Amino acid sequence: MVKDELRRQHIELPSWAFGNSGTRFKVFAQPGVPRDPYEKIADAAQVHRYTGVAPTVALHIPWDRVDDYGDLAGHARELGVGIGAINSNVFQDDDYKLGSVTHPDAAVRRKALDHLLECVDIMDRTGSDILKLWFSDGTNYPGQDDIRARQDRLAEALESVYARLGEGQRFLLEYKLFEPAFYMTDLPDWGTAYAHCVKLGPKAQVVVDTGHHAPGTNIEFIVAFLLREGKLGGFDFNSRFYADDDLMVGAADPFQLFRIMFEVVRGGGYTEDVAFMLDQCHNIEPKIPGQIRSVMNVQEATAKALLVDRDALGAAQREGDVLGANAVLMDAYNTDVRPLLAQLRQDMGLAPDPMAAYARSGYFDKVVEERVGGSQAGWGA
């Protein structure tokens, strides 16, 4: 039943969505923003409290570095959530100007690799089973470095990380078309990520960040292909109008999100094996409600995907009924699933409208008052 499927949905929140963020032009600080990972987790727990389907928070290292990860995991548990994926960060150190694991200097490569291995140590302590790897590596000018040698260096680093993974742990390799490198990116697309993962083995899978493609890319095709090969590890959901905008998922193109979720459902990916993570920044909107809205957008797209009459679709496809097949899909997309989701929340003992329930709770005013002193979390902390 659709409601049962929706009930077991698991959407992971990014700790960094709760910190201050912005563009290269300006970071607008917001009142009440967390000052440390403990407070970020407290805010994430609010999102779970009102949606019931966001029980884990991903960490980004070193932004979320703490002395005692076991203690942080305990804090999360007390608030009714858990720690999810560990995201590595080899893009914010001066040493990484020319790359991290693909850097021409072996000492810099070693430093980057040590960080990745440290992230696996952290996974051991938090009980996380996913390491997410994104590399900002690339070049700005033709001839700047040897494209092929950089692939060799990348492969070497990935092998070392792979070898360090423990039982039940895996890494998800992320790709991105461009930025910060403007000429050549070492992991620019799903095909490159896929080829590296295939060579490494089953603990290496691809993560699809929905904001990391050229305009017009058919992302649901990529999803269908990777699922068919057992290589879709998860999503970094967000939406984009132009480049890597990191806006709320489902805000720019809810129809695309539905098409992606349909391929996930159709391909058997609606399981614990595919991680549904958000990777967003709320630069101008309040952060906790921004996350609640995003979770609701994913839920709505999922509900519509689950409502597709697969038998009718299959029959129309077999008959070559182009318009009939398209109509089956559109019927599901055009269904208003908000009453169904409100009902689901009531079945789960939650308020039917999470945005309103959070607004009523007074949490925002409370943290604005409490969180004085210290420095707010943001990119770089």
Give me the residues that bind ligand RM4 (CB under 6 A), please.
87, 134, 174, 176, 209, 236, 244, 279
**C-beta of 177: minimal distance to ligand RM4 in Å?**
10
Residues 67-86, interacting with Mn ion (CB under 5 A): none
**C-beta of 163: minimal distance to ligand RM4 in Å?**
23
Residue 87 interaction partner, one of ligand RM4, Mn ion, none, beta carbon < 5-8 Å per kind: ligand RM4
Number of residue whose CB is nearest ligand RM4: 134
Q: Is 209 in the site for Mn ion (CB under 5 A)?
A: yes
Give whichever of 91 and 363 is closer to ligand RM4, judged by the CB atom.
Answer: 91
**C-beta of 351: minimal distance to Mn ion in Å?**
31
Binding string to Mn ion for residues 126 to 165, with x set by CB under 5 A, is what? ----------------------------------------
**C-beta of 130: minimal distance to Mn ion in Å?**
13
Residue 300 interaction partner, one of Mn ion, ligand RM4, none, beta carbon < 5-8 Å per kind: none
Q: Which residue is listed with tokens 């959070």? A: 358
Long-range contacts of 181-185 (CB under 8 A, 24+ apart): 181/136, 181/137, 181/138, 181/139, 181/140, 182/138, 182/140, 183/138, 183/139, 183/140, 183/141, 183/142, 183/144, 184/138, 184/139, 184/142, 184/147, 185/137, 185/138
Going by their DSSP bridges, the two strands 11-14 and 275-278 should be labelled as parallel
**C-beta of 321: minimal distance to Mn ion in Å?**
38
Q: Is 246 in the site for Mn ion (CB under 5 A)?
A: no
Residue numbers of the site for Mn ion (CB under 5 A)?
Answer: 209, 236, 279
